[in-house]
Each structure stands twice: as C-alpha cells, then as structure tokens.
Structure 1
Amino acid sequence: MALALYRKYRPATFAEVVGQEHVTVPLRTALAAKRVNHAYLFSGPRGCGKTSSARILARSLNCEQGPTDEPCGTCDSCVALAPNGPGSVDVVELDAASHGGVDDARELRDRAFYAPAQSTYRVFIIDEAHMVTTQGFNALLKIVEEPPEHLVFIFATTEPDKVLATIRSRTHHYPFRLIPPGAMRELLERNCAAEGVTVEPAVFPLVIRAGGGSARDTQSVLDQLLAGAGPEGVVYERAVSLLGVTDVALIDDMVDALAAGDAATVYGTVDTLVEAGHDPRRFASDLLDRLRDLVLLRAVPEAGDRGLVTAPADELERMVAQAERIGPGTLSRFAEIVHNGLTEMRGATAPRLLLELLCARMLLPGAVPTDAAADSAVLQRLERIERRVTVSGEQPPAAPVAAAAAPAQPERPKQPATPEPPTLPEAPPAARRAQERTVAPAPQPKAEPEPAPVAEEPPAAASTAPGAIDAAAVRRVWPELLTFVRKKSRSTEAMLSQAGVQSVEGDTVVIAHSAEPLARRLAEQRNTDVVAEALTAVIGGSWRVRCVHGGGGGGSARPASRPSPQPSGPAPSRPPARSSESPQRSAPARRPSGSSSGPAADDVPPPPEPPPDEPPPPDDEDEEAMLAEAARAPSDGERAQRRDPEEAAIDLLAEHLGARKIER
C-alpha cells in the first residue's frame, strides 16, 4: 500500500514546516535558550501543521542533546518520534473527539504523575482539545496549573475559543495560519520532484485552490492526481475534469464577451459549460474570483508582481488587457451582480436559469436592484463617463491623433460641430460660405472624399469562409494580434489596446472603440491594413477590418466616419438665421433684381468678396488646434440626446477630464 503524500512528507524538524515562520521561529528561539513552558496551545485551521509541530516539539524536548531546536535524528528518542517512527511510551497522543469525557481526563491525570521511562519529559498531546467537556477540563485544571517538572501539555485545536478560559490562560498560545499560495507551490513542486512525476505548471494553481491553504488537503488532492497520471504526467485537461473547476478559457470568453457586449458569446459560453457538465454555481464563483483579480489589476497595475494576483505569466498578461478594456465602475458592478447572484443560487432548482439572468443583468447597465437606487445612479453615471473618457489613459493620444490626421482630411473644419471663434466679426460670412459649400457638394471637388472613410472601402475578398471564425475566437488571439501590430506600428498598437472586437461579419472584423477620435483614427486605411495583416498572420486567410465608435457595455455602435451635415436638424435653419444677423450685407444681393418678378435663380450674383480687413484662412497650426478641439467636443448626435441637466453636467466633467489629460 502506498503511503499518502501528507504522511510521507510530514516535516521532521521546525525548519521543514512550511508557511508558519511566525510560530516556528519563536519556538526554536525558546528551545535554544532552554526556556520550556509546561503547557502550549496550538490553534489554527485544519491541516496547517499543528499536530506535526506538536510532535516536533516533543522530539526536540526528548532528544539526547535537548532541549534543542535541531534534533539530532540519530538517538533512540529521535528515531522513535520520527514521522514514520514507532513512537515512544513517554509521548502520549490523545484524540479528545473520542476521549474528552471526565473519566478520560481523570485517567490522564493519574498517568501524568509517573516519571518518564526513558526520556527527559513526559509529553501529552491532546488533539481536538475543544472537544473536551467542561467537566474534563475541570479535572485537568489542577495538574495543568501546577504540573510536575517532567510533564508538558500540548493542546491542538481548530477552535481555541471553546477551550476553557482557565486552561487557555495557563498556556503559551501559538496561532497557526493557512499556508500562502507561494509557499504551498514550493512544497508541491518539491514533492513532485521527489516522486519523479511531471506536472504541468497550470495544474498547481488548481490544486492549491482546491486545497484551500491546508497542506494536508492540498497534498491529498495532488496525491489523487498523481495516482491517475499517465506516461505524460498530470495534464491540465485531466486535472480540470477531475477537480470540477472551470476551464480558464471559458472564463476568458465570458469576460471578453461581457466587455464587448456580445450577448451571443455570453449565452453560448453558458451553454458550453452546462453541456460539459460544469456546475453553474462553481462557474459563477470562479467568475467572481476573476472579477476580483481584474479589479485589483485595474486599481494596482503591479498587482501581479506584488503577489496580490496569482496566475501564470500568459494568463496574467491576458487579465491585464481585460482590465484595461473594462472600466473600474463596470467591473465593480459586474462583481456586485455576481456576488448577489451567488446568494440567490444557493439551493436553486434551476441554477442555469439564474446564471443566464445574471448575464442579462451584466449586459444591461441599468439593471440593478431597486433598493440600491442611489448607488445604481452613481454607477450608471460613472459608466457613461468611462465610455466617453477612459481614465486609464485612452484620451491623451487624442491631440496628436487629430493633429496627424489634419493634412489628410483638410475638409473637416467645415463640420458644424467645429467651434467657431465668437470674437471675430467676419465669422458669419465665413460660416455662410462653408454652409453653401456643404449644401451643394456636387460641384465642389473637396466634398468627394466626405461620404465614407477609406477603411470602409471593401478590399479583396477574404479566403476564409464566412462564419468559420466568430468574435470569441478573435478575442482569444487578441494578445498575439497586439504583439504582431506592435512590430508594424506602435501607435496602432496603443490605440488597439483600448479597443475590442465587437463582431465578425463574414470576412470583416468589426472593432469598437469607446473614444470617437481614436475610432476615426483607427478607421484610416493605414491602420486597418496593419490590423488586417495581423489577422492574416495569426489566424490565416484574408480579412477586412472596420472600426466603429461604441462602448463595451452592450450599447449601440456607429461607424467611425463623421456624420454628414445635410440630414441634421439644425442645418436647414441656419441660412435664414445668418441672413437676419447681417441684413446690410445681404440687401445689395437682392436690390439688382428690381421690382419685377425677379430673375431666375441662376442670375443671382455670387456673394461679395470679403473685405480687405478680413483675417486670412487659418494656417496649419490653427487647423490642428481646431481639429483637436473638435476631437474633444461631442458629436451632434450626442448633443441631441442630452436632455437631462444632470447628464449634461456629467458630459462637461468628462470633457474637462479629457482636456486636462491632453494638456499633460
């Protein structure tokens, strides 16, 4: 019969005890100084080393060189009290769970007065001490208070508060703790090396999580995996299926789909995990753990290096990218919804239905409990700000982006959303001329490239069959795409780090960006060509790329091109407003028609030339500044949707935050 790992590799000295340095160091110091107390109390969770440390203490006391902090390991007492030794008559281990009555305590008290047979001390180890009855503790109280010189009591318990207070006050109390993941992994790797079995690195986090910080439980889980390992060792897929944990790929798909508002992938992931036999409750718990890690990574970017988030390097890199794409307000809302849903899923007869309802709440930013109306309003406003101005650094590139795009699109200043300088008296004629060019774009050569951006022109047909790859598949290889793009263009990679895959339409990949200026920049052909080349290199086939402006919370998205002024509401009403502001300039244009019915529209003379004192057209620097200001300003569609004064104040705050980041 094979010996269990937790028994085979039980520590024999205090130096071998893992993760309990706050206990072993003072104990070793006291033993080295020959300061031995007559009673000790070891408390802590199960499987963290209480009983093993009690045996090591007894071994250190009865060593021929003892009391010592380093037992020799060769004397009769050390050999008898070794982890796999036969034991000693002078060291008695009692399980209080079955021997906690008053009669057992009286028998123990009577035996304690006898001197040791062959050792220096008689040591009584009482395990599960909280199971001793009150009468039993009272029977031991006198001898624990005034024991003979050769007697040492060691109480081990998981519930020290249940130990009689008069007993507890006469002991030296050493609280044990759960073993941290880093120390536990070193222990497991050392045991696997001693066993000569290969274990994939991704398996260790699963085993550590299943063990819950207990060395005994963790080694029992590893022992089970080693027993069923084949010639290739312990592989990740077998560990996932055996332990019942959620595959990290499903968690990644769910988080990426929630970030992009992709409902099809969200519910498809739920169906996949249910068909694979996973428990929806366990999946919700694992998803909550992932959201916790993302919140920490968003708040503390170096959380992985500081040990706050434990994950393999490749998974940690993917989690950092996910945290950058989702705002802290959205992450907090997701975590709150899943946490409340876990409470509802306890004892539920249809856990899949509740999980799908949780996903529906996360896909709808406004769906929150009614008893948290104030908090929900704050979260909704915060998410609206995050969709317009990403606090993590999405907005600073807006100024150089707009400035770089100015030479390629000189017709942009005629956009109505561009602010006009109010202090110049000649502004109305300039605006009127811009409107006249906009109303009749056909004869003007500059209006030809306006209808659609270059990125939306259909390139060559992709060789990949439509529907062969979905948005979730592209999100899985997103880090590899960013790595390829980084080699081609640093600026494109910087903009893509804050974007996400919204959908795949045949051979066209639609990328959504929450910042409209950066969405327009990504829609340029030189950027879409780089992304398409990256898709071909990573996935294969031939692809087209289209960039749209839209948030990652399931909101509507629109193409990144600028809207045309013709269909907008305010445009038709502007010509009469301009003419009423300056009647003295428009009168000469009407008087030559005389008192008759008037000449035809083609006979109307053109507008007068600007006076000599009119300022010259803006130079390149002024045009770049106007474009930067237009990039910061919201679009006409967004202004038309603002009806709430409170929401308007939020928009002003968002614009202020973006302007401050651009100034930096």
Structure 2
Amino acid sequence: MSSLALYRRYRPESFAEVIGQEHVTDPLQQALRNNRVNHAYLFSGPRGCGKTTSARILARCLNCEKGPTPDPCGECQSCRDLARNGPGSIDVIEIDAASHGGVDDARDLREKAFFGPARSRYKIYIIDEAHMVTPAGFNALLKVVEEPPEHLKFIFATTEPEKVIGTIRSRTHHYPFRLVPPGTLRDYLAEVCRKENIPVEDGVLPLVVRAGGGSVRDSMSVMDQLLAGAGDDGVTYAMATALLGYTDGSLLDSIVEAFATGDGAAAFEVVDRVIESGNDPRRFVADLLERLRDLVILAAVPDAAEKGLIDAPADVVERMQAQAGTFGPAELSRAADLVNEGLTEMRGATSPRLQLELICARVLLPAAYGDERSVMARLDRIERGVNVSGAGGAGGAGAGAGMPAMGYVPGPDAHVPAPAQGAGAGQGPVQGGAPIPPGGGPAAARAAVRAPGAGGAGTGAGAP
C-alpha cells in the first residue's frame, strides 16, 4: 500500500466519494435507481477530474450482485474485482484509444463485443482518450454503439469531446466534468493529510491547490511529492514554496509595501533578493500579479475571504487587508495593469531581471507618465502624503509648495506659475489648464483632471 501513489491509494470507490462533480454523479445515481441506464455514455472534461474513475464506479454499480444500484455493496465478487486494489474484471475492459484507436482495433472490439459476459451482468467497454480514435475507427464502431446487444455498455472518456465524431456523440448520454473548486479541493487534501498522519503548515494547501489547477489527480500528485519529502515537523511552508517554485510571501509583502510607500530603494533590494535566491523572475512577476489581484478584490470587497473570493490562510488575508488599505484605488489598479503588461513582455525576454526592474520603475514613477491613469495614481499618493517621485519618504511638502514633482515635464498647454505665485497666492494651482480653487486640495485636483477640456498629458504646478 505504501508504494502506491496517493491518487491511487485514495481513488473513490463509489459516487459518494467523488468530489466536486455532483452535477454528474447525482443524475447517474438517479438513473441507476430508476433502472434507466443508457447503453452508451460520454464523459468529458479536463484531466484528473474523475472521468475514468466515475466510469469504473458506474461499471461497479451495474455489475454488483445487488444491482444495478447507486451504492455498490463492496462485498460481492464483482465489487471486489473492481475495487481500487482489485485484480480487475474480465467483463470490464479498459482500452487506451491513444494506442488502440485504429480501424483494425475497432473491428476487433466489435467482433468480441457480441460475446456475452463471462460471469457478470454486463460486458462494459471503457474507452479512455476517446478523441484519439480515428474517424475510420469510429465508423467501424458506429453500428454496435447504435444498436448494441442487451449485455453491452460503452463508456467513452475524453478531454476533447469535440473530436469525437457527431454520429457517436449523438448516440451517447454526454456528461461534462468540471475542475474542482479550490475550497472543495483544499478540504479534501486536508482530510487526506489527516489520514496520512503528517502535519502540514498553514499556507501549504493553497499552494498545492494552485499548483494542481483544479485537477484532483494533479493536486494529489503534488501533495504526494510534498509528503514524501516531509521531515519530523511535517510539510513546512518554506519547503513547499521552494519545491513548487513559488515566491516566498515575505518577498511579496516587501515589494508591495515598497510600491505603497514609493520606496525605490526597498523595491530594487527585493529584486536583488529574488535574483540572488535563485528565483525565476517570471514566476515572481506572476506571483506578484496574483497578490495584486487579491488586493484589488479586497479593496472592493473587504469580506472577500469569507465569501470565498480569496483562498489564503487567515493571517495572510489579514496582512493583505492592511496592504490594500495603504493604496489608493487608482494606484492599485495601475500597478496591477503595469505588472500584467510586464508579464506579457517577459515571455521570451533575454534579460528577465532587467524586465523586472523596469516593471518596478514604471510602478514607482507615475510622475514619468502623463496619461490620466498615472495622474490619478499620483493624486492618490498626494492624498496619502507619499512621495510621487519614487525616491522614498514622504513627498507631501514638495507637492503642497506649488512646484512640479520630481520627474514631471509640463505639457505644452500646462500653465506653470512663477515661484512667487504659489498655491497660497490669489488663484490656486492649475491642473491641465483648469484652475483649482484655493484650499481645494487633491480632491479638487482629481475633479479638475476628470473635467472636460482637462489636458490628459499635462498637469499643473503643485499637482504632479
């Protein structure tokens, strides 16, 4: 038993044990109760979501001595033969269409199909990777699939149902399987770890679920790898991040805090730590984009964790809530957009570190851009008293003195008052040609930017 892979050791033996596919298992169980089982089924869906397992369970239900039944007894000879560690049944034939999909294989199957079962109620053919059967092979099977003898059942399993010819699809009951939701998969993995009696740190299971991508088999394989390398203290978060290639949470926290405070020195120090620790810059940017996505959701929906919109441990969610509060809405949206654009540019880049540093520079220096998105981000920073130049520290003083921010280049239509005409003299500063009332502050500047006729590229003095 110990040598078996985890996904084989915990393969479901009944529909009740199949997770995340209730839209398929419930109708199948009801059809068995009503004795309205079709002669051919098509199970489709992503890999590792339970198609072949469900086909074996259906065969078990059909050939159980107490069946057809939605709940196989597990005690009769047929149930024992088709158990997860059973020897298999001579009347349940599994065929891998990837290597047996030709017309000769289909003709051989057709000839053998008419012979009755040796000791079971039905002879059942489970054809895996059915999309690999050639059109000629499907045509050779068409007649027997259309009008099979009473003892014969077909179950086709495929990841690409559109490649199964329409004449076969029209003669089957099609059940589409789906990827398993993260919450369901995380609870299932936690139960498996409890059965294995190996402790797992908080934060590990979300990484495994993310690596598995909704596939139960892939997630179980990743979990099996982590459990195999666990020490006396079980599976640690540091071990999981190192083995799976994810970025450590402390690096993400540091870079996000650097973006929030406009601290360029801290941001580029994080980049250096990423490179020196041997992390892949592309993976770091992808993980950073995932973090910014979570922050955007938390800023819009404070109780996103309770609603299941974010899958992370409680302490990480609490930390991200604090981080989301340090950004203005325009800042956060702009940072996520720039990181997303940078991730696209990094594909095939010859110098990933340089691309990562440029991404950080773009996020840190909204004053270098004159588009409305950057202007709004700069105003967000002014409201929070953060330096808009990205040089670190608070930049509220310079912004309030009526002088352009560092890195700001006035547009051709921008009105830049002389030093003697500061924000406190007579008329307030000008934003893109629209005067801002004295004492109006950043909120008035924001309204002036959005006002018709405001220059998108140019900004006024005192409102970088």
State the AA in 1 paired with 2:256: V
Change (3 A) 1:643 1:99: closer
Residue 569 of structure 1 pairs with residue 357 of structure 2: no
Equivalent residue, structure 2, for 1:379: 373
Q: Say if 1:388 and 1:654, in contact at 8 Å, map to a contact too.
A: no
**Distance change in 2, residues 1:367/1:61 (3 Å):** farther
Structure 1 residue identity aligned to 2:371: A
The Cα shift of 1:638 comes to 12
Secondary structure of 2:430 counterpart: coil
> Given residue 301 of structure 1, which amino acid in structure 2 is its aligned partner?
P
Equivalents in 2 of 1:80, 1:194: separation in Å? 25
With over 3 angstroms needed to count, the CA separation of the structure-2 counterparts of 1:71 and 1:654, relative to structure 1, is same
| Structure 1 residues 646 and 90: alpha-carbon distance in aligned structure 2, compared to 1, 3 A threshold | farther
Q: Which residue of 1 aligns with 2:395?
A: 557
- Alignment correspondent of 1:249: 250
Distance 1:228 1:384, change over 3 A: closer
Instruction: Tell me the residue number matched to 1:581.
Output: none
Q: What CA distance in whole angstroms lies between the structure 1 residues aligned with 2:237 and 2:353?
A: 25
Maintained 8 Å contact 2:431/2:445: no
What is aligned with 2:355?
354
Partner of 1:302: 303
Structure 2 letter corresponding to 1:337: L
The match for 1:521 is none
* C-alpha displacement of 1:641: 4.4
Taking structure 1 as reference, are residues 552 and 82 closer, same or farther at Cα in structure 2, changes over 3 Å only? farther
1:212 Cα deviation after fit:
1.2
SS class of match (2:371): helix
User: Partner of 1:111 in structure 2?
Assistant: 112
The answer to whether residue 392 in structure 2 is matched with residue 636 in structure 1 is no
- For residues 314-333 of structure 1, the aligned pairs below 5 Å read 314-333=315-334
C-alpha deviations, 1:469-496, integer Å up to 9, x for none?
A: xxxxxxxxxxxxxxxxxxxxxxxxxxxx
Aligned to 1:654: 443
Quote how far apart the aligned CAs of 1:170 are: 1.1
Q: Is the 8 A contact 2:382 2:442 kept in 1?
A: no
How far, CA to CA, are the matches of 2:174 and 2:113 in structure 1?
22
1:122 aligns with 2:123: yes
Partner of 1:546: none
Distance 1:176 1:130 in 2: 16
Task: Confirm or deny: 8 A CA contact 2:338 2:359 kept in the other structure.
Answer: yes
- Bigger Rg over Cα: 1
Query: Counterpart amino acid of 1:554?
Result: G
Query: What is the CA RMSD across the aligned residues, in angstroms?
Result: 2.6
Structure 1 partner of 2:277: 276
Displacement, 1:328?
A: 2.1
- Paired residue for 1:195? 196
CA 258–377 in structure 1, closer or farther in 2 if over 3 Å, else same: same
Q: Report the 3-state secondary structure (helix = DSSP H, G, I; strand = E; otherwise coil) of the residue aligned with 2:94.
A: strand
Letter in 2 for 1:569: A
Render the CA deviation track for 1:69-107: whole Å, top value 9, x for unaligned: 100000111110111111101100000010010100111
Determine the C-alpha separation between the residues in 2 that align with 1:361 and 1:384.
Answer: 12
Name the counterpart of 2:433: 645
1:234, distance to aligned residue in structure 2 (A): 1.0
Distance 2:291 2:427 in 1: 37
User: How far apart, CA to CA, are the structure 1 residues paired with 2:11 and 2:389?
Assistant: 51
More helix by share: 1
| Other-structure match for 2:224 | 223
Once the two structures are TM-superposed, the CA of residue 557 in structure 1 deviates from its matched residue by 1.0
Q: Percent identity?
A: 59
TM-score, normalised on structure 2?
0.86
Give the counterpart letter for 2:420 in structure 1: G
Change (3 A) 1:140 1:249: same
Tell whether the 8 Å contact from 2:379 to 2:446 is kept in structure 1 after alignment: no
SS of 2:13's partner is coil
The 3-state SS of whatever aligns with 1:636 is coil
In structure 1, give the amino acid aligned to 2:207. L
Q: What secondary structure is seen at the aligned counterpart in 1 of 2:366?
A: coil
2:207 is matched with which residue? 206
Given that 2:429 and 2:435 are in contact with CA atoms closer than 8 Å, whether structure 1 keeps it comes out as no
- Measured in 2, the distance between the counterparts of 1:653 and 1:266 equals 26
Shift, 1:327, TM fit:
1.9
Contact 2:429–2:436, Cα closer than 8 Å, also in 1:
no
Shift of 1:149: 1.1
Describe the superposition over 1:372-409 as per-residue Cα deviations: whole angstroms up to 9, x where unpaired: xxxx73313433453456xxxxxxxxxxxxxxxxxxxx
Q: Distance in 2 between matches of 1:151 and 1:197?
A: 45
**Counterpart amino acid of 1:155?**
F
User: How many residue pairs are counted as aligned between the two chains?
Assistant: 426
Q: Which residue in the other structure is 2:262 paired with?
A: 261
Identify which range, 332-341 or 69-78, moves more after superposition. Answer: 332-341
Tell me the equivalent position of 1:293. Answer: 294
Q: CA 1:234 to 1:553, structure 2 compared with 1: closer, same or farther past 3 Å?
A: farther
Please give the alpha-carbon distance, in whole angstroms, between the structure 1 residues aligned to 2:268 and 2:164: 51
Aligned to 1:169: 170
SS state at 1:79 partner: helix
Counterparts in 2 of 1:554-633, with a 5 A limit? Answer: 554=390, 557-558=395-396, 569=420
Query: Where do 4+ consecutive residues of structure 1 move more than 6 Å?
Result: none
